[in-house]
Amino acid sequence: MHEAKQAQNITVLGAGAWGTAVAIALAARHDVRLWGRNPNQMKASADAGENPAYLPGFPFPAGLQVTADFEQALAHVTGAGAGAGATPLLIAACPVAGLRPLLEQLKGRPIPNIVWLCKGFEYDTGLLPHQVVRAVLGDGVAGAALSGPSFAQEVARGLPCALTVASETGELRERVVSLVHGNNIRVYACNDMVGVEVGGAVKNILAIATGAADGLGLGLNARAALITRGLAEITRLGLALGGQAGTFMGLTGMGDLILTCTGDLSRNRRVGLALAQGKPLDTIVKELGHVAEGVPCAKAVRDLSTRLGVDMPITHAVAGVLFDGDSAPDMVARLLARDPRNELA
């Protein structure tokens, strides 16, 4: 019941690694436009038939066209551009910091729906992505979060992965499943947008912690402990914000946490490894060359957890290293010095 009957128009706004990977995967079955705001980058991508800046080595399929023309990209999924009887899809593939500016460009336009891929909290407001969407676009536009354990390179290569789409609108959930599910991508649906977004955000912070622990040579036991206790932190915050407990045991909770904490393709894990070497944060970010959402998210979540009274010791320890001048060994000592407590409390 979830197989799309025919190719549909899809526009992906954001030509970073993840947006490009999703566009490549969907273009195997659909007519996809990939928009990026940098004309030089998009021209280089069109000329090379791949994204040399963010995802080199993965050729664009025939169903994918790239553009820096925002109006052209949007027309592909709105009005006459979408075609009669179509069920087009608009996907926002920008980082969290770019979500509000992108939505402002869409405000007042007849967009059919919007699906976002970003994971995190808006840094200055502490809002989750769906709250930012609602604040800018209002309640009249159906929205969904598409999240889960997924590295861009593996998705672009066509390797198997499983994702979750969360929306309050059942029709949009079914539409996303219909269009995205297939070709080694499995998509599950749920209505817990808060839980899905909290899991996708906080796991990046915990990946920094596990990367630092691995970089310090603390062993696999320590890694397992951090992941497990990290899941408890995700759950506590998610429940405080109105999420459903079961969500955190699924793909966007435990699944994404395990991948990001252990996978060598994880940018946030690499931040932790570099912190263990004593590198300053500015140098790490510059060398990374991509957005590591766990860095700004750590500050936003620390502030939010303090305001809500939610116990998140790993998050606070990571934020101490990133922003307060603590060292990675200081972080470990701080965590080990905590008083014992009931595990499930």
What are the C-alpha distances in Å from 124 to residues 48, 100, 303, 311, 315?
A: 38, 12, 10, 21, 17
Asked if 260 and 204 count as a contact pair (C-beta separation under 8 A), the reply is: yes
Q: What single string gives the DSSP state of each residue in 98-163?
A: HHHHHHHHHTTS----EEE---S--TTT---HHHHHHHHH-TTS-EEEEESS--HHHHHHT--EEE
Q: Assess whether 203 carries a catalytic annotation.
A: yes
For the chain, report the end-to-end CA distance as a whole number of angstroms.
Answer: 42
Candidate list 203, 279, 286, 299, residue with the active-site label:
203
What are the C-alpha distances in Å from 99 to residues 10, 75, 154?
A: 18, 20, 24
What are the C-alpha distances in Å from 77 to residues 60, 64, 80, 82?
A: 20, 14, 8, 5
State the Cα torsion 142-30-267-237 to the nearest 10°. Answer: 20
Q: Which residues 6+ apart lie within 8 Å of 298 measured at CB? A: 205, 208, 315, 318, 319, 322, 323
**CA-based angle 237:242:244, to the nearest 5?**
90
Asked if 77 and 112 count as a contact pair (C-beta separation under 8 A), the reply is: yes
Q: Which residues 6+ apart lie within 8 Å of 252 measured at CB? A: 147, 148, 164, 166, 195, 196, 199, 200
Asked if 116 and 145 count as a contact pair (C-beta separation under 8 A), the reply is: yes
Of 115, 140, 144, the closest CA to residue 10 belongs to 115
Phi-psi region of 307 (alpha: psi -120 to 50; beta: other; left: phi over 0): alpha
**Residues taking part in catalysis:** 203
